[in-house]
Amino acid sequence: MIPGPIEYESAVLNSMSLPSLSHTSKEFVSVHREVLQNLMPVFQSKESEGTPFVISGSGTLGMEASTVNFIERNSKVLVINTGHFGDRFVELLSRFTNRVDVLKPPFGEPADPKIVAEKLENNDYDLITATHVDTSTALKNDIKRIADVAKGTGAILVVDGVCSVGGEELDMGWGVDVAFTASQKALGTPPGLAIGMVGPKAMARMEKVPPMTYFSDLRKWISISKAALDLKPGYFGTPNVNLILALNTSLKGILAEGIDRRLKRHEIIANAIREAVSELGLDFIPKSSFANTVSAVNLPEKVELKKFLADAEASGAVFASGIIKEIRDKYFRIGHMGSVGSSEVMIAVGAMERSLKSNGYDVELGRGLKAAQEVIYRSGM
């Protein structure tokens, strides 16, 4: 129950043990095409709204590829920073331009689209980044409203969907110019792929600016995608053939479940976990705008994080520590994405209750479980 890598379906893992096809073979090109085509509905993107890419590397490569291809050395950028991965964008973009502005809402609060609009009115930004769900704070930004205010401006809106795509509603049609994720979270494939979608406004910008990087040059990767979509082989850096086979299996599973049903399931599971946590008297880092993929829970004063995590693990659930430096041992995170269902919720809540109790926090065992049961029962899941 950590926010990635998650637990993978055995069919996905088994795909990784298939023979490594030649990356220029007919078989692989058709798998690649299927993956790219199946990514479109997952990003809720129509063909005219985006061209997908899949690159070997982690989400951080996605962050780089999805931003530096649209800016130049003196470009002005705005980072909407709602946690650790917002900090990472500031660090990354500062290597390419020294005109990085940061919009940092009060801790635990999402960005206010009205303030984003004001920033956009008063500045000529070339690019804005927003983290949909910052995995460090489990806080969700309202991308639809941010896209609404960014749409008519000259800024390219880049959305970090690493902790959201496949588990939260994100729609390229809202006016998102670039969105990306990584394989290891809600897309249900082991770590190692940076996956994204580039819309027409971003594509036009990319043609005008010279590339600043080599491996993360999207011009190269988009041309590989276009070739694969035409069932033609292409080469720029040998793809991770087996991970792409695994991603293909996973995406088919996602589409078989149906995007709407999948998002609804994530919402129900997240509600069940939040109700359970609240019933136990604990609270969250976000005050509102909770994510459906991950929860960040404040630990009671006297409970020591390391012992709490170890006891929870012994009781059957692995949770993650915090990652915000100043408070990293004051909270823990529960990942609830991918194929998580009601059974995992019960195991996780049960383990949380027992570990809290054995660490000196006064809980009535079963109280959180009851709250989670009620949510799941009411949902008809």
Q: Which is nearer to ligand PMP, 163 or 376 (CB)?
A: 163
The binder of ligand PMP chosen from 60, 223, 289, 321 (CB under 6 A): 60
| Least distance (Å) between residue 179 CB and ligand PMP | 12
The binder of ligand PMP chosen from 37, 56, 58, 123 (CB under 6 A): 58
The residue number with the shortest CB distance to ligand PMP is: 59
| Least distance (Å) between residue 343 CB and ligand PMP | 25
| Least distance (Å) between residue 202 CB and ligand PMP | 18
The binder of ligand PMP chosen from 4, 234, 338, 368 (CB under 6 A): 4
CA separation for the pair 179, 159 (Å, rounded): 5
Match 């054995």 to its residue by tokens: 358
Angle between helix 342-358 and helix 259-279 axes, rounded to 10 deg: 20
Site for ligand PMP, residues 76 to 115, rule: CB under 6 A: 85
Q: Which is nearer to ligand PMP, 12 or 163 (CB)?
A: 163
Site for ligand PMP, residues 129 to 188, rule: CB under 6 A: 131, 134-135, 160, 162-163, 182
Site for ligand PMP, residues 284 to 343, rule: CB under 6 A: none
Neighbours of 256 (CB within 10 A): 9
| Least distance (Å) between residue 125 CB and ligand PMP | 21
Sites of contact with ligand PMP (CB under 6 A)? 4, 58-60, 63, 85, 131, 134-135, 160, 162-163, 182
